[in-house]
Amino acid sequence: MFNKLWGKYKGKKNTMQIFYDFFSKKTAFFMLPCKILHLFFIFISKNHTFAILYINNMQIFTEFINLIYPKTCVACNDLLNKDEKFICLKCLYHLPKTNFHTQPDNVVEQRFWGKVPIVRATAFFRFQKGSPFQQLLHHLKYKGEKEMGQVLGEYFATDLMSSCFATVDVIVPVPLHRNKLKKRGYNQSEWIAKGIAAKWQKPLDCDTLFRAIENPTQTKKGIFERWENVEGIFEIKNREAFNGKHVLLIDDVLTTGATIVACATAILKCENVSLSVATLAMA
């Protein structure tokens, strides 16, 4: 394992960087054997109560699991530090953020012009096909990493904190049909919305807007088919829930905007409602 890890780093040019990265990220690999040895000495000293306290304190089990299955960054595959979740700080720094929340009439908002009245719209970051950041969406949607949606939602919410997005009344994720929810086990947009709602301490509503018709997946459809595929498939359970409110609709990826428009059409049937949109990514 040591050779494997070292091999990953030796290709890098800067020697100082090699040592810095290697020793800062791999401290656990050196510390664990020391801790196990320490524990052994405590046990042979027959002070078992102290040994148990010691085990609890150093979370030996978690560290052991991390040693066998090290957690890696979803985007670059590098090993994660103890404080990093799903994505390393380096990738987070290089995330191609749009900052559209600071630009009224941005290209996301323009996608809805002439279709549905949207107050503001934004996307957290852009991705290109095959880019490491596409992996974030792939893991979120298909690899069961739902908690990553919440983590990214919190980062997104932090960026939007001082914008008008943070003044909405309720946060609503684009729903999945109940059959799809059963199959996948979770709604990725709901987890993103959960992170945003938690950061802003705002209500999250995952019940009022629902997918009444199960439509085939959008991913393999052309532009025109995507619009046809989602028309009229969303409905509102209780119209009074959104009356007079500013709703923030959350989705994972914005492509043509057809799904958002279909949701907006249903939401805007409520009285005196206004709608903004925030998606995690845009293609």
Q: Which residues of 39-54 are buried (b: 16+ CB within 10 A; e: fewer)?
A: eeebeeeeeeeebeeb
CB nearer Zn ion, residue 88 or residue 270: 88
Closest to 100 in 3D by CA, of 127, 129, 120, 128: 120
Q: Give the residue, chosen from 91, 118, 197, 273, that forms a contact with Zn ion under the rule CB under 5 A.
A: 91
Say if residues 171 and 203 touch (Cβ distance below 8 Å). yes
- Is residue 267 a contact point for Zn ion (CB under 5 A)? no
* Contact region with Zn ion (CB under 5 A), list: 39-47, 60-68, 69-77, 144-152: 69-77
CB nearer Zn ion, residue 73 or residue 254: 73
**Local structure of 212: helix, strand or coil:** coil
Q: Give the residue, chosen from 51, 75, 168, 250, that forms a contact with Zn ion under the rule CB under 5 A.
A: 75
Q: How far apart are CA 262 and CA 258, in angstroms?
A: 6
The footprint of Zn ion on this chain (CB under 5 A) covers a number of residues equal to: 5
Single-letter amino acid, residue 27? T
- Is residue 204 a contact point for Zn ion (CB under 5 A)? no
- Strand pairing category for 121-126 and 209-211: unpaired
Smallest distance, Å, CB 133 to Zn ion? 10
Q: How far apart are CA 250 and CA 259, in angstroms?
A: 11
CB nearer Zn ion, residue 32 or residue 92: 92
Smallest distance, Å, CB 246 to Zn ion? 35
- Stretch 225-254 residues interacting with Zn ion (CB under 5 A): none
- For Zn ion, the binding residues (CB under 5 A) are 73, 75-76, 88, 91
